Amino acid sequence: MPTTTSSSTSGSPNSHFHSPLSHTSSALDNSVASWRSAIATEWNVRRAADKEKECVLFPLAMNPFGEDEIIAMTEVLLSGRLTLGSQVEKAEKKFAEVVGIPYVVMVNSGSSANLLAVSAITNKLRPIHCDPGDEVLVPAVCWSTSVFPLLQNGLRPIFVDVDPRTFNVTLAELERKLTPRVKAVMAVHVLGNSIDMRQMMTFVTRHKLMLIEDTCESLGSFCETNTGNERQMLGTFGDFGSFSFYFSHHITSGEGGMITCKTEEDYNLLRCLRAHGWTRHLTNRQIVEELYPDIDSRFLFVNIGYNLRPLEVQGAMLSVQIDKLSQFNACRRDNLKRIREIISRNERFHRLMSLMEASPGVDPAWFGVGVLLHRPYAHQRLEFLKYLEENGIENRPIISGNFIRQPCIAAFCEREHPENYPGAEVIHKRGFFIGIHQIALDQTVIEKLVEIMLAFPFQPQHVILVTGSHRMLGKYIQNIVLKQTLEEETVSSDLSLTENKIKTKNSEWIFLTQDDGDLRQIEDVTNIFKRFQPTRILHCAAYIASNEDMCNKPVDFWLDNVKLNNNILQIAFEFQLWSGPIKVISILSTNIFLENTQHLKAESYIFAQKSLQQLIRWYRQQHNCSFISILSDNVFGVYEDINNDTDQFVNTLIMKIINQQENDPSTSVVLTNTCTTECEILFAHDYAKIIIWAMENYDEDETLLVSGQTISILELVQLICQHANFVGGFTFDNNAEYNRLLYDTNSIARLNPPIQMTSLSTGIQHTVEWYRNKKCKESII
């Protein structure tokens, strides 16, 4: 009997035999390969056709998916299973591994992820939760669904201002807005950046707050932790983290979102809330369902809930995209690095705008290139953005700008006002972003981008802040600016002198009053700069009083003036890091150059002025700041409180002669000066014009010394008597010594500013008439 074998050998009759099952499998494989190939071919053909039609140089977003995602989604459609299932679970598992957290739940959008997170922290079945009316800190620069879920769940959003350099909140602002009813923080990570999360975690831990991280724009960004040199992804620090897979985001599932958490209890809560509040997706489903044997376990509802489930095609697409995340983000980081390198080489860039900065400890996976125009060019933002669009550079606001400006906030948060969030206002009025892209950009494209951005014809419109505006120089400056404005016929209908603002053709002037803040307080000065965002400072302010008071309290007046001056220079220096160059023109007291200061009653004030002069030099030396100082001898004019206790030499002479004329015109005035001594005097109106000129035309290390008209004291007194109609005569105390100046005031002469100076006689006449009118009004009152 022939033996049989368990397998055919080559050459046997059965060696080429194929079973019907084997034939069917082979045909199926060929069919799968065929439709996959056909779909891939069709996809590539259509994309090639689209590419030929594209005329945008730099789109806001590029198509992030390809044939792999299309085929994966087609597989799902062919399977017949569309609703939440194994593909979503596969995507959830991969995402958890990538971000480094134990629990994630996929939903149908990033906004749904935010809604689910807020619903979790307000759910009464969660041991630690918010109650209706509790407050949540949220950035003023945010997306609508960073705020709306709070309102929808009965919470009160407490908006927090942001730092215009990083576009994110700061620890100082979080602490400032904290109230006893704040129970949580909604941290919105903007354009891939965040606050230093080490500070955030210290803050929420110290105050026992819950933390939700809105990470929809920041997938793949890292921040250092408080543990050694370790770092972790944004969205994994807090109790919950939300992510978005919208088309333009770091990876996409068309629409879609993910929420992360750290405990199984929160994981089950999220899965329950995601789908109707039923038990189907709980890890402890069997235990729970056994408690309710009389209810069909398929329809057992143990909590409130929504239907926020994603589709299987979204899960399939996301699984493919997750594998590309690391490569995509490497391109984003490199693209921004190269854009920053090229644009930073151009000096014009530094004069016009700045790029968003990463917070300390943060390694952003940039979502976009955040840009801030410098303050003088804010008025051209919309024109500039239109120009970019016309040249193929798509752009959009930073999220939605200052969200307090949205109409819905006026309806639901009635006590909020956008001007109370100056950092957000900066971003709203001066900010925008362009795409960064998940593919490596060609160097020529980056160079063209920079070329177009810097070719726009920017024209500055400065904002000039005048301190000490209630005093003589400040008043003259205000009158000069107003006169020029009226001559130009450009007075804005919404600005007036009563508001201490004047808008001219190319500038806006802010004349500070005591209502704006105390310049001796650093917080007040900071808020003034945030509110007005100046580009020029005319610093005429000083903290002074009568000579007697200043003599009795030298420590107080020295410290007050040093604080005031230091605050102005310090905040101007700090703000120019994101606002652009700020020029400060400080007006010094003549007395700092007197030959002998030992016998001056206001000696402490003089030393404070000397300190200011030196500090200006040091800021220029160390930081290359455009800070200058100006000084003139014997300035006189109106708007000053004239009395014996002031150091205004000419004004004091005018006061003495007019008072003598009114009290006893037949008696001589005794003047404590030497009649033959010469002095230089300058009408304050002319000094104010020189200061305004110097604002744009002087930027040197040395103090600008402004000379007046040289005249002997005898001639000066005669001129005052003439305009005062005083005939009683005068005598000089020749024992008095005139305190001479130790500098030459002719440095202004070499600059030759085009200023028509007022004759000395006219200036004296004007001042005499003003003082007489002032005394007349006071006597009537």
> Hey, is 453 helix, strand or coil?
helix
- Give the DSSP per-residue string, 83-142: SSSHHHHHHHHHHHHHHT-SEEEEES-HHHHHHHHHHHHT-TTSSS-PPTT-EEEEESB-
pLDDT > 90 fraction of the chain, expressed in percent and rounded:
65
What residues form DSSP beta bridges with 678? 712
What residues form DSSP beta bridges with 711? 679
Mean pLDDT calculated for residue range 506-534: 92
Q: Indicate the residue type of 364.
A: P
Cβ contact 707:495 at 8 Å: no
Distance of alpha carbon 631 from alpha carbon 586, whole angstroms: 9
Residue 456 has pLDDT above 90, yes or no: yes
Cβ contact 541:564 at 8 Å: yes
What is the SS3 assignment for 534-567?
CCEEEECCCCCCCHHHHHHCHHHHHHHHHHHHHH
In degrees, rounded to 5, the angle at the alpha carbon of residue 333 between the alpha carbons of residues 329 and 336 is 135
Residue 72: enclosing H or E segment and its boundaries? Answer: helix 67-79
| pLDDT level of residue 137 (50, 70, 90 thresholds) | very high
- Residue 78, classified by CB atoms within 10 Å of its CB into exposed (0-12), middle (13-18) or buried (19+), is exposed
Residue 3 has pLDDT above 50, yes or no: no
Q: Matching CATH topology for 461-632 and 634-780?
A: yes
Superfamily of domain 326-451: Aspartate Aminotransferase, domain 1 (3.90.1150.10)
Mean pLDDT calculated for residue range 551-569: 93
For the domain spanning 67-319, the CATH number is 3.40.640.10
| Predicted pLDDT at 744 | 56
Instruction: List pLDDT tens digits, range 469-507.
Output: 988 999 999 999 988 888 765 444 444 444 688 988 789
Mean pLDDT calculated for residue range 616-642: 89
Distance of alpha carbon 536 from alpha carbon 465, whole angstroms: 6
| Predicted pLDDT at 417 | 92
| Predicted pLDDT at 399 | 94
| Predicted pLDDT at 714 | 84
Residue 18 has pLDDT above 50, yes or no: no
| Predicted pLDDT at 41 | 87
| Predicted pLDDT at 88 | 97
| Predicted pLDDT at 9 | 37
Instruction: List pLDDT tens digits, range 331-364.
Output: 999 999 999 999 999 999 999 999 999 999 999 9
Cβ contact 698:651 at 8 Å: no
From 189, 249, 428, 437, active-site residue: 249
Residue 411's CB is within 10 A of a number of other CB atoms, namely 8
- Within 8 A by CB and 6+ apart from 488, the residues are 504, 505
- Within 8 A by CB and 6+ apart from 527, the residues are 422, 517
**Local structure of residue 62 (DSSP, 8 states):** -
Residue 587: enclosing H or E segment and its boundaries? Answer: strand 583-587
Within its chain, how far is the Cα of 660 from the centroid?
58
Instruction: List pLDDT tens digits, range 718-744.
Output: 899 899 888 877 777 665 554 454 455
> Hey, is 683 helix, strand or coil?
strand
| Predicted pLDDT at 225 | 94
| pLDDT level of residue 512 (50, 70, 90 thresholds) | very high
Each domain of the chain, given as residue ranges in start order, spans 67-319, 326-451, 461-632, 634-780
| Predicted pLDDT at 642 | 64
| pLDDT level of residue 658 (50, 70, 90 thresholds) | confident
Residue 758 has pLDDT above 80, yes or no: yes
Superfamily of domain 461-632: NAD(P)-binding Rossmann-like Domain (3.40.50.720)
Mean pLDDT calculated for residue range 662-668: 77
| Predicted pLDDT at 35 | 86
| Predicted pLDDT at 255 | 94
CATH architecture of 634-780: 3-Layer(aba) Sandwich (3.40)
Short-list 412, 385, 424, 375, CA closest to 190: 424
What residues form DSSP beta bridges with 231? 224
- Residue 555, classified by CB atoms within 10 Å of its CB into exposed (0-12), middle (13-18) or buried (19+), is exposed
Exposure letters 603-637 (e unless 16+ CB within 10 A, then b): bbbbbbbbbbbebbeebbeeeebbbbbbbbbbbbb
| Predicted pLDDT at 13 | 35
Short-list 323, 355, 309, CA closest to 449: 355
Distance of alpha carbon 11 from alpha carbon 602, whole angstroms: 120
Structure tokens belonging to residue 327: 């490569």
What residues form DSSP beta bridges with 401? 399
Range from 199-213, 564-578, 664-678, 704-718 that averages highest in pLDDT: 199-213
Residue 103 has pLDDT above 60, yes or no: yes
Within its chain, how far is the Cα of 695 from the centroid?
26
Mean pLDDT calculated for residue range 119-146: 97
Question: Could you identify the residue written with the tokens 């995507």?
Answer: 91
User: With a threshold of 0.85, does the pTM exceed it?
Assistant: no
Residue 26 has pLDDT above 70, yes or no: no
Q: Is 723 a catalytic residue?
A: no
Short-list 433, 470, 513, CA closest to 639: 470
Share the mean pLDDT of the chain. 87
